[in-house]
């Protein structure tokens, strides 16, 4: 299978995915129910929800955070992410 890319950059080189604040998360699973890309996974241990597939996350999408009542999901800044994508495209960062 061909490697997944975003704007010509390998997806796993782009650090865009949700981070869960476990101090705030109530494990309501709204984000997991919402996300069609299977970024999250439910677990049987203490951390009942994890970001299991970060590369499945749609770059620049933050829609799951908007479903989060306790405001427990954060994302990197868009400007830094764009800067990183541009740097990789221009060969400033060697993969």
Partner 1 sequence: MKRAILSCNGLDKPEGSVAREVAIRSADAIGGEIICPVLLNRAPARYKKALSDSSLIVVDGCSTRCATKLATRLGAKVERKVLVSDAVKASGQALESTLSLEPNGLALARTIVEELIRNLNAPAVAVEAVAEFETPTEYLVVTHDKFEFRIPVVDYVFNENDVWARALDGVARVGISDFMQQKLTDISYFDPPKVESVVEQFGELGSLESAKAVFEIIAPVAGVVTAVNPAVIDNPGLINEDPYGAGWLVEVKMTAFPQDEELLLDPATYAEIIKRKAAEE
Residue 68 found at the interface with partner 1 (CB under 8 A): yes
56 DSSP 8-state letter: G
Residue 21 found at the interface with partner 1 (CB under 8 A): no
- Footprint on residues 73-92 left by partner 1 (CB under 8 A): 78-79, 81-82, 85-86
Q: How far apart are CA 76 and CA 80, in angstroms?
A: 8
Q: Which helix (DSSP H) or strand (DSSP E) does residue 86 occupy?
A: helix 78-89
Sites of contact with partner 1 (CB under 8 A): 2, 6-7, 28, 30, 34, 36, 58-63, 65-71, 78-79, 81-82, 85-86
């Amino acid at each position: 299978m061909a490697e997944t890319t975003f704007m010509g950059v390998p997806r796993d080189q782009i650090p865009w995915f949700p981070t869960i604040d476990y101090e705030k998360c109530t494990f309501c699973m709204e984000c997991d129910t919402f996300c069609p890309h299977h970024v999250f996974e439910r677990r049987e241990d203490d951390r009942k929800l994890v970001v299991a597939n970060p590369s499945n996350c749609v770059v620049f999408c933050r829609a799951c955070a908007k479903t989060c009542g306790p405001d427990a999901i954060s994302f990197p800044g868009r400007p830094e992410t764009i800067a990183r994508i541009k740097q990789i495209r221009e060969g400033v960062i060697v993969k």
